């Protein structure tokens, strides 16, 4: 793992696998970090040189005090700067949840820098300003709560959300490791990530989908009915989109069904 200074902020990132192989950029979800891909990286390294990064406000990357620094356009510019430092002209990109929204934004804004796009349990954001305003209000309230109460109470609250019910099928060891990783995040970083690049803060990308010609794979879990429905709608708008629903999986398909997830990704990118 290496630290990079990207547009004035410190990012923690790593590159593994043979550099002669095509690159693959991995972007984690909210409360996550690059370590969330630990089970997938050895599999992907058979085919790719993998770049894993802790998104701003997460893991061992910086957590600036200014929430405006976390806006989607600025974080996207940081990642383009990372690719420049690594001398990568074009890469495939895989993003999960928040990381998927970021990956989709990157592909829409910098299409020449990306060869293929994989979005796991993700969305183009909220379509209307009314929806975005309501979500910004709830995200701001949660951000304030995180700063007032600290990381451990927040992780307990976060893990109690219905969205993670399917994670009960994971072993206690896997869930404990995930809980410990979440607890290592900065309360300021998570709070400002919500304020700067939460679902309400990001611009809607729904209208961008018909013009996005990159080959795109959408992955959702069968048990995650909300995101499965969103992805069904998305695939109908993407010129080169494909949808893969993973049975008996919820929001975190890469954890709940790692083998099927990795196979779907490798077959698509291969």
**Which band of pLDDT confidence, cut at 50, 70 and 90, is reported for residue 121?**
very high
Number of domains composing the chain = 1
Proportion of the chain above pLDDT 90, given as a percent: 99
CB 218 within 8 A of CB 241: yes
Proportion of the chain above pLDDT 70, given as a percent: 100
Q: What is the pLDDT of residues 6-24, one digit of tens each?
A: 999 999 999 999 999 999 9
pLDDT for 130 equals 97
Task: Provide mean pLDDT across the span 31-49.
Answer: 96
Domain limits for position 153: 2-269
> What letters, b where the CB count within 10 A reaches 16 and e where it falls short, cover 209-244?
beebebbbbbbbbebbeebbebbeebbeebeebebb
Q: What is the C-alpha to C-alpha distance for residues 89 and 59, in angstroms, rounded to an integer?
A: 26
CB 104 within 8 A of CB 117: yes
| DSSP class per residue in 27-62 | E--TT--GGGGTTTHHHHTTT-EEEEEPPTTSTTS-
Q: Is the pLDDT of residue 77 over 70?
A: yes
Q: What is the pLDDT of residues 177-202, one digit of tens each?
A: 999 999 999 999 999 999 999 999 99
**Which band of pLDDT confidence, cut at 50, 70 and 90, is reported for residue 252?**
very high
**Which band of pLDDT confidence, cut at 50, 70 and 90, is reported for residue 235?**
very high
Q: Is the pLDDT of residue 270 over 80?
A: yes
The domain that contains 216 carries what CATH number? Answer: 3.40.50.1820
pLDDT for 222 equals 98
Return the higher-pLDDT residue of 270 and 72.
Answer: 72
**Which band of pLDDT confidence, cut at 50, 70 and 90, is reported for residue 249?**
very high
Q: What is the mean pLDDT of the chain?
A: 97
pLDDT for 119 equals 98
Q: What is the C-alpha to C-alpha distance for residues 121 and 131, in angstroms, rounded to an integer?
A: 19
Q: Is the pLDDT of residue 1 over 90?
A: no
């Amino acid at each position: 793992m290496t630290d990079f200074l990207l547009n004035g902020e410190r990012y923690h990132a790593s590159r593994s696998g043979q550099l002669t192989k095509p690159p693959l950029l991995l972007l984690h979800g909210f409360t996550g970090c690059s370590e969330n891909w630990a089970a997938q990286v050895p599999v992907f390294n058979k085919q790719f040189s993998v770049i894993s990064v802790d998104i701003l406000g997460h893991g061992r990357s910086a957590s600036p005090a200014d929430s405006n620094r976390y806006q989607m356009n600025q974080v996207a510019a940081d990642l383009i700067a990372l690719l420049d430092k690594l001398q990568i002209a074009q890469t495939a990109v895989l993003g999960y949840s928040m990381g998927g929204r970021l990956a989709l934004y990157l592909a829409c804004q910098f299409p020449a820098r990306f060869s293929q796009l994989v979005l796991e349990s993700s969305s183009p954001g909220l379509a209307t300003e009314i929806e975005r305003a309501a979500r910004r209000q709830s995200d701001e309230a949660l951000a304030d709560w995180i700063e007032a109460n600290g990381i451990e109470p927040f992780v307990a609250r976060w893990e109690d959300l219905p969205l993670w019910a399917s994670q009960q099928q994971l072993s206690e060891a896997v869930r404990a490791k995930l809980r410990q990783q979440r607890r290592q995040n900065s309360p300021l970083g998570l709070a400002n990530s919500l304020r700067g690049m939460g679902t309400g803060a990001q611009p809607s990308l729904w209208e961008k989908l018909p013009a996005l010609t990159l080959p795109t794979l959408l992955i959702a879990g069968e048990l995650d009915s909300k995101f499965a429905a969103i992805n069904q709608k998305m695939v109908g708008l993407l010129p080169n989109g494909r949808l893969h629903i993973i049975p008996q999986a919820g929001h975190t398909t890469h954890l709940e069904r790692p083998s099927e997830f990795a196979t779907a990704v490798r077959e698509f990118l291969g």
